[in-house]
Structure 1
Amino acid sequence: MPEFESVRTTAEAIGRISCIKTGEEIGLLYRWDNGETQAALYEDAVLTTLDCSAHSGEPDVGAKRG
């Protein structure tokens, strides 16, 4: 039987995501029990998730800001 190392079973909220312009909370950041992180953004009272497991934990300081 194959083993799945990246199987997610539980997640813990580890941070709040805030709009840099208004300071309003727009989502939550979760860490899964396998170490992956995932952002969950609010959109008209519906939670939208973004899988961040393929992204580095380091910010892109050269990114253009709007």
Structure 2
Amino acid sequence: MPEFESVRETAEAIGRITCIKTGEEIGLLYQWDNGEMQAALDEDNSNELPTSQSSAVEPDIGATRS
């Protein structure tokens, strides 16, 4: 079995993803222990994850979460 250079084991939420039209939180941005980032959108908002080429996600660490 080949060894992978960047094995993901744990991830930490580093930002919130908000809708630019409503300001409502629609997901979270995670950073894996290997440095990779991944967006996780809430199920009721979209079936499609943004890619690094199609959209930029700005972490909003200071926002309060309800």
Regarding TM over 0.5, the answer is yes
Aligned AA for 1:35? Answer: G
Residues matched between the structures, number: 54
TM-score, length of structure 2 as denominator length:
0.64
Q: Which has the higher contact order (CA 8 A, sep 6+)?
A: 2
CA distance in 2, matches of 1:51, 1:8: 19
Gaps of 5+ in 1: 60-66
Gaps of 5+ in 2: 57-66
Taking every aligned residue pair, what percent have the same amino acid on both sides? 75
Aligned AA for 1:9? Answer: E
TM-score, length of structure 1 as denominator length:
0.64
Q: Which runs of 4+ in 1 moved over 2 A?
A: 48-52
Name the larger-Rg structure: 1
Bigger proportion of residues as strand: 1
RMSD of aligned alpha carbons: 2.8
